[in-house]
Amino acid sequence: MAKGFNRGPAMGGQGGMMQQIQKLQKQMEEAQAKLAEETVSATAGGGAIKVTMTGDQKCKSVEISPEFLKDADPEMLQDMVLSAVNMALDESRALQEKLMGPLSAGLPF
């Protein structure tokens, strides 16, 4: 072996890095599982429309007040549903950032 090329410490450093990566991967998997379980909700039209979504951005339910349907015009209903869905997506993304952000902060990109 050529002088100055000692593999011992370098391999130990890489092993430690692998352990850190595996630990981070496990933490990310746990955070993703938690996101799939947690829900956020958003309303529009003073509560006439309610959308519930998981932290991993799957729509769980859309609730429309029967009272609202009596007088609603289709375009207004569409706009309110769209608004509630977008607000729920924003809430879901905020939850995702809250749970996943600290994990990705230490990654060297």
Q: What digits encode the pLDDT tens for the residues 3-58?
A: 555 554 555 567 778 888 888 888 888 888 888 899 999 999 999 999 999 998 89
How far is it, in rounded angstroms, from Cα 26 to Cα 13? Answer: 20
pLDDT tens readout for residues 84-96: 999 999 999 999 8
How far is it, in rounded angstroms, from Cα 64 to Cα 49? Answer: 5
The total number of structural domains in the chain stands at 1
Domain that holds residue 44: 40-101
How far is it, in rounded angstroms, from Cα 55 to Cα 35? Answer: 4
Q: Tell me the mean pLDDT in the region 67-94.
A: 92
Residue at 32 is within a domain: no
Spatial CA neighbour of 100 closest among 23, 34, 28, 39: 28
Residue at 76 is within a domain: yes
How confident is the model at residue 68, as a pLDDT?
87
Question: Is the pTM for the entire model greater than 0.85?
Answer: no
Which CATH number belongs to the domain containing residue 91 in this structure?
3.30.1310.10
How confident is the model at residue 75, as a pLDDT?
93
Residue at 62 is within a domain: yes
Residue at 31 is within a domain: no
DSSP-derived secondary structure for 23-86: HHHHHHHHHHHHHHH-EEEEEETTTTEEEEEETTS-EEEEEE-HHHHHH--HHHHHHHHHHHHH
How confident is the model at residue 27, as a pLDDT?
83
62 close to 49: Cβ distance less than 8 angstroms: yes
